[in-house]
């Protein structure tokens, strides 16, 4: 395909005929990207939006649990925009549209009916250790991906694409000229990212890049952060303004002598007394020794390898949200022996974002007169009362207490109850993990029983619920820690009536 830019149509058609090429127009698709389009316009990103929607239309998410949708969201949907985002900066409207699609899929599935989004999207995108689910935030991930181009411009200055940029914009002292009248949108975006534009304060990229000097032959004396991450032109701005050669390399200054009376200091005029700062600059340079057998190299401070890493940049850009879950409680609910959907259920329970009667009344789903607990105790149903204080479901915890042979304390909050459930007995770390698993099993059984009474009008006794907790926690541990279950096998299932079937 032959594409012409500022070419007369007749000449363009003749050239295409001679070369046996198809006629093309800007913008056109190449490797899935729109070339020649304006990434600031929403229609430029429409193929990406359509691709995400088409992928969703093929999933039967009615059969997926919340845990299954989270896995697909993190592993598939979040990966679809990566190719686009690694080249172009997405507008705020597109980022909002993509995150809205992700949010709808996570809470509603692929259904057309609008439902309640129970958790704020910023919270979902927080890291797990901060109380979130670790879903990628599009805006910060986009900046981290584009930051790799800023890094490559520093370390791949002999590549073909770099030479194309220098031919287009020019190069001074090994640096591509940033300011220009006819800069492309892509180039302006990279300049802004290099300068930290688009994030909440600070030059996020430049502040985390350093220069490790070897022989000093390819390090700019005034411009590069090569002395304790200082840029000399910023620290000694007056000297920089008066310097004859502002693009001098470190090796050249070193060879001429950078002591106070050295020949390296050449100014446009004689320095006045009030502006003499040469001594302060020389004091910084006193202990610097070049290494002739080593080349200069760039280092990225946020990663152990000293090379740019998208994940490290993304984590740096990600602003923690104010979560009401501590790191301790977060680690307790993400138990690897427990199915993901139950860990997500506990995560919502600790945030009081379950479909309990009080939450449904607050969101005008139920009338205020429908607020009584399903157990028939006559009290208002909220998360704390349902799972801890209810006259009926509270007896399940006493059954658990008798089974485990230690006293259970009922604190003010559900999160404190989870923490104390595994720590008050003074058990080992391995046993505490098993006790937290029992706690997760217990709250899950209570929730299933509550829903069975609401939607199916069926009831189970406390002994039946206790047997379900024992059996469920037994199978979870047996699948992941068979040696632990073998040690406590007879104690775990006694006196379950289904023991003979299990054996």
CA distance 102 to 117: 11
Q: What is the pLDDT of residues 63-72, one digit of tens each?
A: 788 888 899 9
Segment 157-186 shows an average pLDDT of 82
pLDDT at 276 over 50: yes
- Nearest CA-CA partner of 66 in 135, 127, 122: 135
Domain boundaries, the chain: 142-317, 327-502
Confidence of residue 310 (pLDDT cuts 50, 70, 90): very high
Q: What angle do CA 486, 492, 494 make, to 5 degrees?
A: 120
- State the Cα–Cα distance between residues 59 and 481, nearest whole angstrom: 34
CB 186 within 8 A of CB 85: no
Tokens of 377: 């105790």
Confidence (pLDDT) at 434: 79
* 294 φ, ψ (degrees, to nearest 5): -125, 140
Helix axes 429-455, 340-350, angle to 10 degrees: 80
pLDDT (0 to 100) of residue 248 = 87
Q: How far apart are alpha carbons 458 and 452 in whole angstroms? A: 6
Label residue 86 by pLDDT band (50, 70, 90): very high
For the cut 60, the answer to whether the pLDDT of residue 486 exceeds it is: no
* Percent of the chain surpassing pLDDT 70: 87
For residue 483, the model assigns a pLDDT of: 57
Residue 145 exposed, middle or buried by CB count within 10 Å (0-12, 13-18, 19+): buried
pTM, full prediction: 0.83
Task: Work out the pLDDT band at 498, boundaries 50, 70, 90.
Answer: very low
Longest dimension (CA), the chain: 99
Tell me, what's the pLDDT at 144?
93
> Exposed (0-12), middle (13-18) or buried (19+): which is 219, by Cβ within 10 Å?
buried
Report the C-alpha gap between 445 and 346 in whole angstroms.
Answer: 12
| pLDDT at position 174 over 50 | yes
% pLDDT > 90, the chain: 18
Q: Would you say the C-alpha torsion 84, 85, 91, 92 has a positive or negative sign?
A: positive
Give the tens place of pLDDT for each residue, 316-336.
888 766 665 555 566 778 888
CA gap 222, 417 in Å, rounded = 59
- pLDDT in the model for residue 501: 31
- Residue 32 clears pLDDT 90, i.e. is over it: no
pLDDT of residue 497 exceeding 50: no
- Token readout for 397 is 């915890």
pLDDT at 448: 94
What pLDDT is attached to residue 160?
92
Q: Give the C-alpha separation, 472 to 490, whole Å.
A: 15
pLDDT of residue 424: 59
Does 484 have pLDDT greater than 70? no
Q: E strands within 171-221?
A: 171-172, 175-176, 209-212
456-to-64, 113, 327, 363, 365 alpha-carbon distances in Å = 21, 23, 38, 24, 20
Integer Cα distance of 190 and 154 in angstroms: 13
pLDDT number for residue 451: 92
What is the pLDDT averaged over residues 186-197?
82
Q: What is the pLDDT of residues 353-385, one digit of tens each?
A: 999 888 888 888 888 777 778 888 878 888 888
Query: What integer best gives the mean pLDDT of the chain?
Result: 82
For residues 98 and 39, what is the distance between their CA atoms, to the nearest angstrom? Answer: 15
Confidence of residue 441 (pLDDT cuts 50, 70, 90): very high
Instruction: Out of 200-214, 345-359, 404-418, give the one with best mean pLDDT.
Output: 345-359
What is the reported pLDDT for 111? Answer: 60
More confident residue, 427 or 415: 415
Q: Is the pLDDT of residue 491 over 70?
A: no
Q: Which of 338, 347, 345 is nearest to 472 (CA)?
A: 338
Asked whether residue 206 carries a pLDDT value surpassing 70, the answer given is yes
Contacts of 252 (CB under 8 A, 6+ apart): 221, 264
User: N- to C-terminal Cα distance for the chain?
Assistant: 70
- H or E element in which residue 327 lies: helix 327-333
Strand runs labelled E in 37-138: none
Please state which of the ranges 113-117, 377-381, 390-394 shows the lowest mean pLDDT: 113-117
Q: Is the pLDDT of residue 202 over 80?
A: no
According to the model, what pLDDT value does residue 500 have? Answer: 31
């Amino acid at each position: 395909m032959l594409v012409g830019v500022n070419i007369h149509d007749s000449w363009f058609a003749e050239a295409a005929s001679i070369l046996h090429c198809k006629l093309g127009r800007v913008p056109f698709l190449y490797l899935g990207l729109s070339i020649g389009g304006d990434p600031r316009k929403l229609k430029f990103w429409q193929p990406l939006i359509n691709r995400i929607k088409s992928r969703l239309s093929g999933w039967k998410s009615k059969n997926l649990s919340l845990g299954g949708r989270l896995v697909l969201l993190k592993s598939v949907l979040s990966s679809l925009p990566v190719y686009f985002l690694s080249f172009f900066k997405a507008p705020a409207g597109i980022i909002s549209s993509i995150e809205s699609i992700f949010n709808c899929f996570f809470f509603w599935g692929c259904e057309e009916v609008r439902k309640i989004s129970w958790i704020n999207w910023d919270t979902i995108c927080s890291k797990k250790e901060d109380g979130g689910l670790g879903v990628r935030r599009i805006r910060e991930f986009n900046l981290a991906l584009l930051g790799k181009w800023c890094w490559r411009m520093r370390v791949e200055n002999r590549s073909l694409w770099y030479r194309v940029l220098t031919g287009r914009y020019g190069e001074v002292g090994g640096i591509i000229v940033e300011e220009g009248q006819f800069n492309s949108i892509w180039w302006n975006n990279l300049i802004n990212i290099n300068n930290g534009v688009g994030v909440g304060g600070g030059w996020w990229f430049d502040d985390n890049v350093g220069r490790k000097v070897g022989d000093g032959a390819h390090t700019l004396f005034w411009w590069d952060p090569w002395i304790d991450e200082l840029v000399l032109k910023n620290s000694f701005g007056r000297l920089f303004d008066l310097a004859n050669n502002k693009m001098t390399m470190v090796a050249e200054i070193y060879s001429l002598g950078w002591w106070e009376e050295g020949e390296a200091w050449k100014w446009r005029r004689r320095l006045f007394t009030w502006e003499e700062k040469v001594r302060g600059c020389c004091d910084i340079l006193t202990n610097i020794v070049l290494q002739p057998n080593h080349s200069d190299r760039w280092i990225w401070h946020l990663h152990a390898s000293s090379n740019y890493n998208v994940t490290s940049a993304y984590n740096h850009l990600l602003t923690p949200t104010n979560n009401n879950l501590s790191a301790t409680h977060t680690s307790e609910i993400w138990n690897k022996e427990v199915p993901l959907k139950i860990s997500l259920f506990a995560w919502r329970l600790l945030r009081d974002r379950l479909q309990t009667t009080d939450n449904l009344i607050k969101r005008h789903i139920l009338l205020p007169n429908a607020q009584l607990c399903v157990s028939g105790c006559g009290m208002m149903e909220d998360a704390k009362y349902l799972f801890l204080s209810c006259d009926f479901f509270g007896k399940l915890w006493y059954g658990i207490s008798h089974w485990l042979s230690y006293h259970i304390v009922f604190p003010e909050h559900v999160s404190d109850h989870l923490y104390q459930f595994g720590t008050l007995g003074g058990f080992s770390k391995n046993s505490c993990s098993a006790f937290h698993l029992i706690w997760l099993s217990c709250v899950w059984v209570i929730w299933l029983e509550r829903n069975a009474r609401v939607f199916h009008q069926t009831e189970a006794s406390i002994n039946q619920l206790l047997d379900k907790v024992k059996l469920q926690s037994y199978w979870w541990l047996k699948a992941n820690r068979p040696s632990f279950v073998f040690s406590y096998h007879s104690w775990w299932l006694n006196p379950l009536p289904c023991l003979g079937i299990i054996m």
